[in-house]
Amino acid sequence: MRIHQARLNKTSIATAALALLALGLLYGLGACEKSPQGPVPSLAKVYADYFPIGAAVDPQTLVSQRDLILSQVNSFTAENDMKWENIHPRPGNDPSSYDFTAADTIVNFAMSHGIRVRGHNFVWYQQVPSWVFVDGRSPATRAEVLERMKEHIDTLLAHFKGKVYCWDVVNEALSDDPSETWRTNSPWYYYAGADTGHYGMPDYVELAFADARAADPSVKLFYNDYNIESGAKFQHALDLVRRLKAKGLIDGVGIQGHWSIYWPDADTVRNAIDSFAALGVQVQITELDLSVFRYGDLSTLQAPSPDLLQLQAEAYGRLFKVFRDEAKAGKLTGVTFWGIADDHTWLDDFPVAGRKDWPLLFDVQHRPKPAFWAVAKW
């Protein structure tokens, strides 16, 4: 009897060891990475019934963050490579005026892995070359600027036809100053900011949407901006979307979501999503990151404290509860992070140059942070 029992024990130990080995192999094969909290689930899978999970990428991060990107996201935005200065650096509208190399790398990577792509962006006051606004030694005319804008939009829509499902047609056209509606420190506003067509908006805004709609009616057209979830800018954004919608020229609004662990509160975000959705457009969170600093804070840190990481987890958790609710109600159709892990974030240089920040769900070594778990498990 004793001997029998000993044999049994040996068998069960061997079976358990085999099972452990198999489990280990499974994780090792990339079904999911391990962490002290257990296997790391894929957010894209966890959120499959809610919305695509996106990340801003570039050809470098597709290499340096490849495993995380492939396991976690199913939507891409080019962090910089579809912006005018990158994709259309030289004057004119010949093939030689454009440089599609980096953008095509991103789009081809996406297509070969079943990842969708948001286009970002056609018309923005930043990262646009000065040649767009000059004619020889003179300033360009309004007509020249609008013609270049149309050629640019037409060329990009043709190039990415069937590969990019939506575009941020106009980015950040609204003012931060509550006493005015439109951003005036924009060359687009300077050259084509009048409302000659009585559209209730600068000509360049209306015409960018009209050009895009005419060039490819199958692409979804978005207005994208920051701080449009509250205050005067929120009201101005609602007005803009309402007017464009009345003309059939807009399909969605992108709330960027460059926020912090202190702000905004979840109800503000819920109210904004509800209000935009009530206008009959899609709503997406397009550039989400939660800084561990208050906006103007000039202090620096070597590393985020456990307390800050905990606050960040709570803030992400509250926001994703809103996102899930809104998605279930048919009001939110995408959430894109502005990056994926803290080793690559634009906030290391904005708004304070050289101030390291930790705004994303994975740390600098690509390990899940408390914020990841708050988003992945509820």
227 binding ligand XIL? (CB under 6 A) = no
Binding of ligand XIL by 312 (CB under 6 A)? no
Nearer to ligand XIL, 72 or 121 (CB): 121
Smaller CB separation from ligand XIL, 37 or 127: 127
Q: Of 101 and 126, which CB lies nearer to ligand XIL in the complex structure? A: 126
Nearer to ligand XIL, 289 or 363 (CB): 289
Contacts from 148-151 at CB under 8 Å and sequence distance 24+?
A: 148/93, 149/122, 149/123, 149/188, 149/192, 149/204, 149/207, 149/208, 149/211, 150/207, 150/211, 151/93
Query: From the list 42, 74, 75, 171, which residue makes contact with ligand XIL (rule: CB under 6 A)?
Result: 171
Q: What is the C-alpha to C-alpha distance for residues 105 and 221, in angstroms, rounded to an integer? A: 23
Residue among 79, 229, 287, 326 flagged as catalytic:
287
Which residue sits closest to ligand XIL, CB atoms considered? Answer: 346
Is 287 part of the annotated catalytic residue set?
Answer: yes
Does 230 contact ligand XIL by CB under 6 A? Answer: no
Angstrom CA distances, 88 to 1, 97, 111, 144, 151, stand at 82, 6, 23, 16, 11
Query: Is residue 342 involved in binding ligand XIL (CB under 6 A)?
Result: no
Q: Which two tokens stand for residue 301?
A: 């840190």
- Contacts to ligand XIL from residues 57-86, by CB under 6 A: 79-80
Residues between 241 and 300 that touch ligand XIL (CB under 6 A): 256, 287
Q: Which residues does 1 contact at the CB level (< 8 Å), separation at least 6?
A: none
Q: C-beta of 168: minimal distance to ligand XIL in Å?
A: 7
Which residues have C-beta within 8 Å of that of residue 89, sequence separation ≥ 6?
A: 97, 99, 129
> Does 346 sit near ligand XIL (CB under 6 A)?
yes
326 catalytically annotated: no
Asked whether 44 and 53 are in contact (CB, 8 A), the reply is yes
Phi, psi angle pair for 129, to nearest 5° = -70, 155
- Among 79, 172, 206, 229, which one carries the catalytic annotation? 172
Helix (H, G, I), strand (E, B) or coil at 95: helix
User: Could you say whether residue 357 binds ligand XIL (CB under 6 A)?
Assistant: no
Residues that bind ligand XIL (CB under 6 A): 79-80, 171, 256, 287, 346
- As annotated, the active-site residues are 172, 287
